[in-house]
Each structure stands twice: as C-alpha cells, then as structure tokens.
C-alpha cells in the first residue's frame, strides 16, 4: 500500500475507538439520534481512510501502470470501485 501509513493507522484507530463507544452507547440504551450521529462520524472517518488509500493508489500504482503501458487494467479496476461507490 502506498498511502500515508501513519495517517491511515491513526484514522483506523480513531474509528475503532468510535465503534467501541457506539457499542457502549447501545448497551447503555442511549438516545437513538446520539447513536446515529456517532455512526455517521465513524463512517466519515472510514471514508477518509478510503480517500487516503485511493490517493496513494492513484499517485503510485496507477501512475506506474500508465508508465508500463498497463493503463487499461487500472482503468477497469477504478471503474469497478466507482461502481461500488455508486450502489
């Protein structure tokens, strides 16, 4: 993986902490909207992780594929990811 490992690790550990907090909120039967908001915040963090990973992929793996004449393969790969994002 070519993404900023420090940033990815930090974001994932924060998301893990938030998920632990959400589990505790559920166990404590906290207000639904408070739980919902925490889930949204965690999703946002995970989206940031995906963004960081994709940036690294584009800057390194895709660039290298274009330099090696393997761009078709990487374009198809990115299109498949785009399909998943739009579901």
The pLDDT profile of the chain, 87 residues, written as one tens digit per residue, is 788 899 999 999 999 999 999 999 999 999 999 999 999 999 999 999 999 999 999 999 999 999 999 999 999 999 999 999 898
SS (H, E, C) 11-60: HHHHHHHHHHHHHHHHHCCCCHHHHHHHHHHHHHHHHHHHHHHHHHHHHH
pLDDT at 87: 84
- 30 sits in the region (left: phi over 0; alpha: psi -120 to 50; else beta) called beta
Class of domain 5-85: mainly alpha
C-beta separation of 49 from 8 below 8 A:
yes
For the entire predicted model, the pTM comes to 0.82
């Amino acid at each position: 993986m070519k993404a900023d490992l420090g940033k990815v690790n930090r974001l994932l550990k924060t998301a893990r902490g938030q998920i632990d907090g959400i589990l505790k909120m559920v166990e404590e039967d906290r207000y639904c909207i408070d739980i919902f908001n925490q889930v949204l915040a965690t999703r946002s963090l995970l989206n940031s992780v995906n963004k960081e990973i994709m940036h690294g992929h584009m800057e390194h793996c895709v660039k290298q594929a274009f330099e090696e004449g393997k761009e078709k393969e990487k374009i198809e790969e990115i299109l498949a990811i785009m399909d998943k994002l739009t579901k």
